[in-house]
Structure 1
Amino acid sequence: MARPVPEIDIDLFGDASLRDPFANYRRLRDAGPLVKLRTPDVYAIGRFAEVQAALRAADCLISGQGVGFSDMFNAPKGMNVLQSDGDLHRRLRGAVTRPLTPARLARAREDLKALVTERVRALTGQGWFDAMPSLASFLPVEAVSHLVGLPDVGRERMLEWAAASFNLIGPRQEESDIASMREAFAFISTLSPDQVRDGSWAAELFGAAETGRLTMQEAMAAISAYVIPSLDTTILAKGHLLNNLANHPDQWALLKARPELIPAAVLEGVRHSSVLRWFSRVATADYAVDGMILPEGARVMLLYGCANRDERRYEDPDRFDIIRDARDHLAWGTGPHMCAGMNLARIEMEVLLEALIEQGVELTAGDGVMGTNTGLYGFASLPFRLD
């Protein structure tokens, strides 16, 4: 006999919880390996081992019926990387990840390092600034928009489109976000090979469509994966990393003394302060979760940030510790839907830390303002100094 699934009444989408979700995350984990939420009326999984297993069970817990709660977000099913399954997902993901392999990105690392080094030098000794637009956003916007090869209007709007898309996955929808998403889809639909930069990722996809390796619809779907969800996750992760290092001077001193820990610091940063809150899946059959049953047809939230603070997996998980082995963190997911852009995100954060260490700066963070995006956890603003 299956164990009963506990029902809990917590508001994961109230502004207070969105700004500081960790007490609710602990309540959810402690309630059981699988819980039923009252608002919204869905199941949820928040423990590390169970979230990891669910993300790898892509045949039973599918994405093709949408990964949010919003009809607006879930509506374009099938022909996009995030909300597709099986052979279609593998084909679309292969097109998206082709330029995102470590070998391909290694060619861009030197240029990315030069760009961020120049920005760090310009900000050092200049007093207080907002780290989110001035430092965290700088490299993703410059790098992604250039590498994708978008015309200027696309570059200018990518941040707004990304924020709107993640805000729409939750149970509440703002008209401004709906309008932004419609604008994003309209922009993507007007793209053509003569509008994108020669040699860019978008140009490669159009070339694949022209030679028959992809349909034009598949090429456009892959381009949308670059344009819409590719920026905010890395920007917010950088904000958390800067804030954590500034507020843990012992960790910053250790990193300066041992720069070989930079890759580990990046992984600990995204584990400790996971930007992606959750995605949902739909069960195609009864799915067992540690003696409990998620019934066929049910929608379930998989809470990435909650899993990464699970005491069952990480000792003292609320501590930011750059010598922790966080290689199995779930901030970028796992399984067939693991974040396609994680290699670029890692490089961007690593070269930022390299530039800060080489500049010999001290980091000071003021009281940041947390955002209330329903899909992403991160700072809306973060007062910062480089001295």
Structure 2
Amino acid sequence: MSAIAAETPALDIDLFSDASLQDPFEDYRTLRDAGPVSRLVRPDVYAIGRFADVQAALRDSDRLINGEGVGFSEAFNAPKGMNVIQSDGDLHRRLRLTVMRPLSPGRLREVRPDLKAMIVERVKSLVGRGWFDAMSELARFLPVEAVSHFVGLPAVGRERMLDWAAAAFNVIGPDQHPADLISLREAIGFMATLSDDTVRDGSWAGELFAAAKTGRLSMQEAMAAISAYVIPSLDTTILAKGHLLANLATYPSQWELLCARPELIPSAVLEGVRRDSVLRWFSRVAVEDYRVDGAIVPKGSRVMLLYGCANRDERHYEDPDRFDIARDSRDHLAWGTGQHMCAGMHLARIEMEVLLEAMVEAGVKLEAGSPVPGTNRGLYGFTSLPYRIEKA
């Protein structure tokens, strides 16, 4: 790595300790206050955490590239170049266009009624039931059903998808658990078994295999797109729902406001993902010296872009720790920005919107117990959330 720029402070904080993973926000504040760029001791990378600087870096995909991998481990980064997240230029645009076809707002409007009907029935089954785990019984329900139904994967292997998704984001960090590496190999093995004979006709996966048969896509591109539907879309949306449910129960005035003004549901979703960004970070590599407000990230360096840190930046959001569904959070960075903005964000928004619609329409009051925060190295969220939904 090139010499440290004089303006760049070294920070001895461990963002991958269990304590920081479970409650990262003091470390985030320390990082923001240290300067526009910091050099972390563990792992040895540059880190950017202020909103304006992270936003600019995410949009500068020519100088900060994804094609060298977005994690800190070869287990996650290899093979480089053949998935949507870890590719650049024309290849990235082609892969992203493939993934986005069924995820466009127009296509998703067609499936919204199905998603709404499914979540209405699930919410009805939980009203008046007493305490339950909102993560396993409510937050997970729609993402898993959506992947199974719309992507069209075979039943065999579906029960492992959540483990595979969690393992993939855990392996992204600087150290790996053997169990996560095993899960990742299982996921790769499952994907290799897929074909036009094993996925449902007319499904998103079926469309991809049909395109590969006619030569509109390579088989490698089709498989990369299917992986993009399954791995990134599950835990990210599940954990975001957990935060949203916890916030609405913890701040009853916000739930009362939402029930009185259901037109705020889209705003509540965006505020939820802003305040408690599930994706902690991705990294990029600087292909030339990259200047951030006077500080320098030297050419060839790996830089960590902290989404959750940026979304709590008091330089950009007034009282950023507050959950405020009337706040204008449309510019949040939880789903990124620029060329690599989350391809599945429209589906995630719809899943969360129909959940809130179903709960508001049910006329209920909410209560949450103490959530159990997880220690996934790439994702911030709860492993369990005690919850009650009762008739108001």
Percent identical pairs in the alignment equals 74
Q: Is the 8 A contact 1:34 1:46 kept in 2?
A: yes
Find 2:91's aligned residue among 74, 88, 93: 88
Please list, as runs of the form range in 1=range in 2, the aligned pairs for 1:43-82 lying within 5 A after superposition. 43-82=46-85
Amino acid at match of 2:111: A
TM-score by structure 1 length? 0.99
Pair 1:309-2:319 in alignment = no
Pair 1:299-2:302 in alignment = yes
Pair 1:193-2:196 in alignment = yes
| Segments of 4+ moved more than 6 angstroms | none
Question: For 1:59 and 1:315, how far apart are their aligned partners in 2?
Answer: 32
Question: For 1:144 and 1:214, how far apart are their aligned partners in 2?
Answer: 22
Q: In the TM superposition, what is the alpha-carbon distance from 1:3 to its structure 2 partner?
A: 5.4
Question: For 2:231 and 2:325, how far apart are their aligned partners in 1?
Answer: 31
Aligned counterpart, 2:126: 123
Q: In the TM superposition, what is the alpha-carbon distance from 1:106 to its structure 2 partner?
A: 0.4
Aligned counterpart, 1:213: 216
3-state secondary structure, aligned to 2:197 = helix
Pair 1:104-2:113 in alignment = no
Question: For 2:362 and 2:227, how far apart are their aligned partners in 1?
Answer: 37
Find 1:330's aligned residue among 316, 325, 333: 333
Question: For 2:334 and 2:194, how far apart are their aligned partners in 1?
Answer: 31
- Calculate the aligned-residue CA RMSD, in Å: 0.7
Amino acid at match of 1:317: P
Pair 1:363-2:366 in alignment = yes
3-state secondary structure, aligned to 2:156 = helix
Aligned counterpart, 1:145: 148
3-state secondary structure, aligned to 2:81 = coil
Deviations 1:26-45 (A, max 9, x none): 00000000010001000000
Q: In the TM superposition, what is the alpha-carbon distance from 1:340 to its structure 2 partner?
A: 0.4
Question: For 1:230 and 1:153, how far apart are their aligned partners in 2?
Answer: 19
Question: For 2:187 and 2:50, how far apart are their aligned partners in 1?
Answer: 35
Amino acid at match of 1:16: A
Q: In the TM superposition, what is the alpha-carbon distance from 1:154 to its structure 2 partner?
A: 2.9
Aligned counterpart, 1:320: 323
3-state secondary structure, aligned to 1:193 = coil
Q: In the TM superposition, what is the alpha-carbon distance from 1:292 to its structure 2 partner?
A: 0.9
Find 1:163's aligned residue among 162, 166, 188: 166
3-state secondary structure, aligned to 2:72 = coil
Deviations 1:238-263 (A, max 9, x none): 00000000000000000000000000
Deviations 1:109-135 (A, max 9, x none): 111001000000000000000000100
Please list, as runs of the form range in 1=range in 2, the aligned pairs for 1:222-301 lying within 5 A after superposition. 222-301=225-304
Question: For 1:312 and 1:208, how far apart are their aligned partners in 2?
Answer: 47
Gaps of 5+ in 1: none
Q: Is the 8 A contact 1:3 1:291 kept in 2?
A: no
Aligned counterpart, 1:375: 378
Question: For 2:58 and 2:25, how far apart are their aligned partners in 1?
Answer: 21
Question: For 1:157 and 1:147, how far apart are their aligned partners in 2?
Answer: 17
Question: For 1:82 and 1:373, how far apart are their aligned partners in 2?
Answer: 19
* Count, aligned residues: 386
Q: Is the 8 A contact 1:132 1:379 kept in 2?
A: yes
Question: For 1:358 and 1:386, how far apart are their aligned partners in 2?
Answer: 13
Deviations 1:262-302 (A, max 9, x none): 00000000000000000000000011100111000000000
Question: For 2:375 and 2:178, how far apart are their aligned partners in 1?
Answer: 16
Question: For 1:157 and 1:98, how far apart are their aligned partners in 2?
Answer: 26
Q: Is the 8 A contact 1:158 1:227 kept in 2?
A: yes
Amino acid at match of 1:215: S
Deviations 1:171-219 (A, max 9, x none): 1101110000001011111111010011111011111111111111111
Aligned counterpart, 1:24: 27
TM-score by structure 2 length? 0.98
Deviations 1:315-338 (A, max 9, x none): 000000000000000000001110
Question: For 1:296 and 1:3, how far apart are their aligned partners in 2?
Answer: 15
Question: For 1:176 and 1:270, how far apart are their aligned partners in 2?
Answer: 29
Question: For 1:34 and 1:154, how far apart are their aligned partners in 2?
Answer: 43
Gaps of 5+ in 2: none
Q: Is the 8 A contact 1:55 1:335 kept in 2?
A: yes
Question: For 2:225 and 2:197, how far apart are their aligned partners in 1?
Answer: 17
Find 1:346's aligned residue among 349, 353, 371: 349
